[in-house]
Chains A and B, each alone.
Chain A
Amino acid sequence: EAGVAQSPRYKIIEKRQSVAFWCNPISGHATLYWYQQILGQGPKLLIQFQNNGVVDDSQLPKDRFSAERLKGVDSTLKIQPAKLEDSAVYLCASSRDRERPQHFGDGTRLSIL
């Protein structure tokens, strides 16, 4: 079974610029997650989708972050404008449901200059 695909793997931008990340979950996985992982910390959930709908986005900084999951499959996460504190690894994960394992992609390492 193919794993969770993410792109790009690395991104370097200047503060106040915008950036977008893409995720393709494992086929058949209804639940998709975006996490932010700052160096030395555990992943922090930004947004959780169940098919097309948002289940939880309580920790998503909505003034600058947005995410969508069209047709219940691929998802994009956007940051606009980026701040220095957004430097982190952005992980996408998917699962069949919340009681099943979450499978993570390799992540996008974002550096803000």
Chain B
Amino acid sequence: QQPVQSPQAVILREGEDAVINCSSSKALYSVHWYRQKHGEAPVFLMILLKGGEQKGHDKISASFNEKKQQSSLYLTASQLSYSGTYFCGLTNFGNEKLTFGTGTRLTIIP
């Protein structure tokens, strides 16, 4: 079953913050986050492997809430380069297949 992302789309001004959520109906093993710009391949952002894990680099970070079966991606002080569609990908226990979410389209305006 496809993970559900929210919001579907968001428009921010440069410097504003955003949170993108990804939820699953099944117990999660790992969460992958990717960003895809129009006409390009998805680019890896980070993987979270443990419930409660948080990771980040630059001003992009993510958390993994095992109990709620969800992950959130945090973008702080957004830059124009952050524009694109963000996808979460989830794997479940006993299933190696990475299933991508519905996507969140992020637009940053000057």
Interface residues of A (CB under 8 A from B): 33, 40-45, 48, 55-56, 58, 91, 98-107
Contacts and interface: CB of A to CB of B under 8 A. Distances in A.
A44 B103 CA distance: 12
A71 B96 CA distance: 22
26 contacts: A40-B103, A42-B2, A42-B100, A42-B101, A42-B102, A42-B103, A44-B100, A45-B97, A48-B96, A56-B97, A91-B42, A98-B30, A98-B91, A98-B96, A99-B47, A99-B49, A100-B47, A101-B32, A101-B47, A102-B32, A102-B44, A102-B89, A102-B98, A104-B43, A106-B40, A106-B41
Contacts of A99: 30, 47, 49
Given A99-B49, A102-B32, A102-B98, 7 more contacts: A42-B100, A42-B101, A42-B103, A44-B100, A45-B97, A98-B30, A104-B43
Given A42-B87, A43-B87, A101-B32, A48 B44 contact: no
Of the listed residues B41, B47, B91, B99, the one surrounded by the most CB atoms of chain A closer than 10 A to its CB is B41
Contacts of A101: 32, 44, 47
A56 B41 CA distance: 22
A101 B97 CA distance: 13
A56 B96 contact: yes
Interface string B24-44: 000000101000000011111
Given A43-B42, A99-B47, A102-B44, A58 B101 contact: no
Given A98-B91, A102-B44, A106-B41, A41 B103 contact: yes
Nearest to B105: A40
A45 B91 CA distance: 12
B30 to A, nearest CB: 6
Contacts of A103: 44
A106 B44 CA distance: 13
B41 A105 contact: yes
Given A42-B103, A105-B41, A48 B97 contact: yes
Nearest to B96: A98
